[in-house]
Amino acid sequence: MFHPRRTLRALLLPLVAGLALAALPAGTAHAASTLTNAGFETDGTGAAVPSGWSEYGDTGASYVEAGGHGGSYRLTHYSASAYKVETYQYLSGLTNGNYKLTAWVRSGGGQNSAYLALKNCGGTEQRTDLPVSTSGWIHLVVPVSVTGNQCTISVYSDANAGNWINVDDLTFTSGTTGVSVKGSDISSLAKSEAYGGVYRTSSGTTGDALAILKSAGMNYARLKVWVNPADGYNNKTRVLAMAKRVKAQGMKLLVDFHYSDTWADPGTQTKPAAWAGHTYSQLKTDVYNHTYDVLNALKSQGTTADMVQIGNEINGGMLWSEGSTDNFAQLAGLIDSGYDAAKAVSSSTVVALHLAKGGDLTGTRWWFDTALANGVKFDAIGLSYYGYWHGSLSDFQTTLDDAASRYAKPVFVAETAYPFRLDSDDALVNQIDTTGELVSGYPATTTGQSNWLRDVMNIVEAVPNGRGLGVFYWEATWTAVTGNGWDPADAGSGNGWENQALFGFDDKALPAMSVFGHR
């Protein structure tokens, strides 16, 4: 039975950080167990208070207007002056269990905070912050465990003058979400340490970078492997040594095969020198033997790889020219050699294919459609997504969701990063070093970096059917250390990426690291 007095008392407890109090809707004695007017279509435009919903705070900043995601109308928060407002709906009579809220959102950014929340559900309040997306709609999810047969669905803004959000087409259904991969590429770490690199906690205590990352919530490490690099780092021996440290921290391991002696990426896929004169048939054997050798050595020392990438950012193929996408049948044979070797070592190891096409729906579809037509075997799809190179967050979500659905495979972000400042800590100009290169709404500050990683993680969590595995940050430990530059053949080369690491120029852990604690 519903008890208005008891429920009202429970709901009038102050929320964290001075947020609005959740009161019962005026004149409503009984709340529903399902969302009412979830698409904001009931009233038409201009409704000050949407039917079925209540408001608290600067209520003039919350209203219905034309321009919906699915239907004709949407909820908007906006005011020409600073405001704090909550639009909420109280549900009761719920069967206890796991639920998830989904919604389509847009935001112009700039708020002190803007989020969807599930609260007064019996346990910890759950929130999902709105990413900055001024044109494309993004769908978000918020999971919660209901233990008190009730829950309040909340849309909240603490905003500055002129800030706005749009919210539409909410659902509240049984189910749960989360991300299983909260990882980082730490391929630079061993060399950094060898050349004197130091890592500190946020309070300044010197420590093991891996332990600091683990304590922040990181549960997965990514290590690249080159065949015979000029500096002797990122080869089989070094990967084996670092794998022991990764597993000792209780983390999982992704091994990223570049099939090169140096960087492999969309613009460069150079064969290892030792394989340079080999025929296509020999190259298939090379890929198998190298992949098997590294992974079997990892298994033999008790650090079996949990995930493997056959190639790195292979938009145009790998082992050029034999493995170019211009001859996809041959590329397919090379990939399958790597797949077969990985499975021969450990059938449970997840084999992923990795493209740098985070916001490119057409390109991603073409690549994987062609791969499947050529019989390519894979277990998961990894995409690089750098917002300053690979399209909008909305484009990214569209591409990620489509890949998960179209190929019925789990998907993850194999690489993302964002600067916390623009200046350099060494003599080399940074790859991202001007405000014009940044993503709108995400400044080059520690907060901007944190919000970027958080919002990418939120988008991956929202991939339908639980197919969003998670995110790897690139490259958490690559700080500016003399001798640890980008070119393995040039000890004097610098680092153009230290302003996107997860340790600052003072070597202290940055706030963005805390995003690894994502549910």
Catalytic sites, residue numbers? 313, 415
Q: For residues 92 and 70, what is the distance between their CA atoms, to the nearest angstrom?
A: 27
Instruction: Of 507, 396, 506, give the one whose Cα is nearest residue 462.
Output: 396
CB atoms within 10 A of CB 184: 28
Q: For residues 380 and 308, what is the distance between their CA atoms, to the nearest angstrom?
A: 10
CB atoms within 10 A of CB 437: 14
Strand partners, 87: 55, 155
Three-state DSSP at 316 gives coil
**Contact call for residues 97 and 71 (beta carbons, < 8 A):** no
**Encoded amino acid at 398, one letter:** T
**Contact call for residues 131 and 106 (beta carbons, < 8 A):** no
451 to each of 123, 135, 183, 426, 511, how far by Cα in Å? 25, 19, 17, 26, 10
Taking each helix axis from N to C end, the angle separating 393-406 and 361-373, rounded to the nearest 10 degrees, works out to 20
Cis ω for the linkage preceding 72 (within 30 of 0)? no
